[in-house]
Structure 1
Amino acid sequence: MATTTLERPDKFRIGRVFSNSFAVIGRNPGLLVGLAALFSALPALVLNFWNYSNFANINIANPESIAVADPSAILRNSLISMAFGLIYFVLALLFQSSLVRATIEDLNGKRPAIGDCIQIAVRCILPTIGIGLVIFLTMILAMLMMFVAGMLIPIFGALIAFIVLLVPGIMLLLGVSVSVPVLIQERLGVFSSMSRSRALTKGSRWSLFGLLLILFLAAIAIQMAFALVFGFTFAITGSLSTVGLVVGAIGSALVSTVVSTVISVAIAVSYVELRQVKEGTSVDELAEIFS
């Protein structure tokens, strides 16, 4: 595989990121399927079977059956669902980290190895979780501010806070959007990686916004289409058959895995693109850290 070192681009271009992202996916189908199965598809399948099995026990034609449900069973199921969700969150971070490693190795003209990608992802899991928690807590803080504003100024307070926080919030998220690739590739700490991400994305955030908006809308369209088909079937029958449960769980897992794969690879490619735009860094130089 030939190295893909390029001359320094003049600006961040969405089309080039898409082209390189799908090129990476096309050159490594076996690797991506293996990583996706391990970190995304199988965990999502387990989670979906659990959630759908709970739905299957609900008879929407008889609402009274919901009202008389055992509260202890509901609490137990909720705790199990939260545990599954937490495990899925950690595995999703491992998936993204392993894809970052695979993407940069591929762009460097090498053939990524699944063992190497997993090793790097596991080695960096704690700071990766740290970045995820910082972003999550920041979003929670923004929602609390909207709630407080709504309490202080009834009716319009939450709306005003949402409008005031919208653009700064989007810019903040865009600024830290390549924090995980920075962490994986440059071996910085949590806050140093986020600071480095803000520096790299400065001047390119609206282009990044366009890229992520396209990916987000495409993901929403695909997931909504599947949800509508599945929900329509559930509404007609009033319950889920075993076949419906299996098809729903597998279909949802595949959809979420494909979406997360494309987004993770695109973010990793965006990191490489940003370094080339800001610093003229070749992909060969990016890989020297791991040599």
Structure 2
Amino acid sequence: MTSIASERPERFSVGRAFSNTFSVIGRSFVPLAAIVGLFSTLPALLYNIWSFRQIAKIAVPGASFEQSAMAGYGAVSMIAGLVLLILAFLAQAALVRATIEDLNGKRPSIGDCIQIALRSFLPTLGIGLVIIVAMFLVAMILTVITMAIPIVGGVIALLSLIPIAMWLISISVAVPVAVQERPGVFASISRSRALTKGSRWRIFALFLVLGIVAIGLQVVFTLLFQAAIASGGISTIGLIAAAIGSSLLSTIVSAVISVAIAVTYVELRQVREGTSVDELAEIFS
């Protein structure tokens, strides 16, 4: 296994980032699978088994499902979603280490990657909370505007999707910065904005392609699950199979995006600063 070229590229390349993402996954599939299995697949599987059982009860014609049960389902789902999001950030931290090691021509160590993720837990969690709070406030503001002035507010909400997407792209490498450079939560976000400046539309194109593929796969899976219920319900074995399929799909997508974020960070460091992969790896030694 050899490291990628260390010469400084002129600009961020969507094709190179896309190719390096899947090259990393192909070369280091086993450690990557172990990391996402621990942080994502297993927790998602436990939640999905429970969730699909509740959905199946709701979907059965003539079945009664009390309002309190619905409220309980919503509360558990919200808590589970937050837990899974936190674990996803931890997985991304571990995958940053694995990606840099792979690109440097080494075989990532599962234990080492997990240690890096745990060491970076607080700043990673802080970045996640900043993003969640910011998106919640934006959603609340747009909801109020839309309700106050329906037509104009709807147009404003639609037009705001572009700047929101660009803001998310601008902070997309904040977790790799926090793991690699350890400057703190807000400094990591600021550093990410500096690194992505001038490359945001190309980064957007990369994640747009990955997002479209992910949405397409999710839609297909959802339609198949709904068709199974509509055809006469779904058995316990079917629920377990659906839960496993959904868990695998979500964690595979999450893993690909996390590796792509790490690859994007490495590429941006090379483009803007000429930093080689072996120099990036030195901080962990």
TM-score, normalised with respect to structure 1: 0.93
Q: Quote how far apart the aligned CAs of 1:116 are.
A: 0.6
2:237 aligns with one of 238, 243, 259 = 243
Match of 1:15 in 2: 15
Alpha carbons of structure 1 residues 224 and 86: separation in structure 2 relative to 1, 3 Å: same
User: Are 1:125 and 2:136 counterparts?
Assistant: no
Match of 2:273 in 1: 279
2:264 aligns with one of 261, 270, 288 = 270
Match of 2:86 in 1: 90
Q: Quick check: 2:218–2:249 contact (8 Å CA) kept in 1?
A: yes
Identify unmatched segments of 5+ residues in structure 1: none
Match of 1:25 in 2: 25
- What does 1:180-191 correspond to in 2, within 5 Å? 180-191=175-186
SS of 1:58's equivalent in the other structure is helix
Match of 1:288 in 2: 282
Q: Deviations over 1:88-147 (max 9, x none)?
A: 222111111111110011111222100010011011112111111111221112212212
Q: Deviations over 1:148-200 (max 9, x none)?
A: 222332x2132232144232212211110111111111111110000000000
Match of 2:202 in 1: 207
Q: Quick check: 1:49–1:246 contact (8 Å CA) kept in 2?
A: yes
Aligned partner letter, 1:131: I
Q: Quick check: 2:146–2:157 contact (8 Å CA) kept in 1?
A: no
User: Are 1:150 and 2:146 counterparts?
Assistant: yes
Aligned partner letter, 1:271: Y
Q: Deviations over 1:37-76 (max 9, x none)?
A: 11111111101001011122235321xx33xx34444444
Aligned sequence identity (%): 54
User: Are 1:44 and 2:44 counterparts?
Assistant: yes
Aligned partner letter, 2:98: A
Match of 2:187 in 1: 192
Cα distance in 2, alignment partners of residues 150 and 282 from structure 1: 48
Name the Cα RMSD after superposition: 1.5
Aligned partner letter, 1:27: R
1:169 aligns with one of 164, 173, 176 = 164
* Structure 1, 155-164 or 179-188: larger mean CA deviation: 155-164
Aligned partner letter, 2:227: F
Q: Quick check: 1:107–1:283 contact (8 Å CA) kept in 2?
A: yes
Match of 1:179 in 2: 174
TM-score, normalised with respect to structure 2: 0.95
Cα distance in 2, alignment partners of residues 76 and 165 from structure 1: 33
Alpha carbons of structure 1 residues 81 and 151: separation in structure 2 relative to 1, 3 Å: closer
Alpha carbons of structure 1 residues 56 and 160: separation in structure 2 relative to 1, 3 Å: closer
1:259 aligns with one of 253, 257, 270 = 253
Q: Quick check: 1:5–1:284 contact (8 Å CA) kept in 2?
A: no
Q: Quick check: 1:151–1:157 contact (8 Å CA) kept in 2?
A: no
Q: Quick check: 1:56–1:241 contact (8 Å CA) kept in 2?
A: no
Cα distance in 1, alignment partners of residues 217 and 235 from structure 2: 23
SS of 2:160's equivalent in the other structure is helix
